[in-house]
Amino acid sequence: MLPSRGTDMKYIDYDIAQINSYYKNVAISSCNAMFVGKFYNEFEYRVLIKFNFKSLPENSRIQRATLSISVAAGALYCFSGSKLMCDWDVNNVNWLNQPQFNSSEIIFSKSVPYCTKYPIDITEQVRDWYKQPDRNYGATC
């Protein structure tokens, strides 16, 4: 989508890391696909994401924020995200030192069919993080 004439559309920078319970001391921060959920009902995978608003001009207005996910396995997957409770560093996070999250503070929850690219509207949460940067710890899925 291209911005309409007279608007200045920007994309928000973000930090993202995949951590898992098998390789506990490792995080992956750049790859084509990141995984969430359980592998063989034994090892758990999580993705952490945090938005960096420093590149936005002061008093910017966030019109829309969308998280796009794809399901690669299973017939139907319930995908949810929870707010993180403390800050983390994309270069140092791993399974052993991952930030706490409150599983009862769900930011989004969607059932996504197999092999579907699905947009999830996270506009309100991103706006809240922008307005209250001291609470911008991101989310985990």
Give the three-state DSSP class for 15. Answer: strand
3 in any annotated domain: no
Report the predicted TM-score, pTM, of the whole model to 2 decimal places. 0.81
69 in any annotated domain: yes
Give the range of the structural domain holding residue 98, as residue numbers without chain letter: 13-140
Residues 39-88 have pLDDT tens digits of 777 888 888 999 888 888 888 888 888 887 776 665 556 667 889 999 99
5 in any annotated domain: no
Q: Which two tokens stand for residue 117?
A: 């690219």
Is residue 20 within 8 A of residue 95, CB to CB? The reply is: yes
Number of domains in the chain: 1
Angle made by CA atoms 51, 56, 60, in degrees to the nearest 5? 105
Is residue 82 within 8 A of residue 140, CB to CB? The reply is: yes
Angle made by CA atoms 14, 19, 22, in degrees to the nearest 5? 170
The residues with which 81 forms a beta bridge, in sequence order, are 108
Q: How many CA atoms lie within 13 A of 66 on its CB side?
A: 8
1 in any annotated domain: no
Residues 78-130 have pLDDT tens digits of 667 889 999 999 999 999 999 999 877 777 777 766 666 778 888 999 999 99
4 in any annotated domain: no
101 in any annotated domain: yes
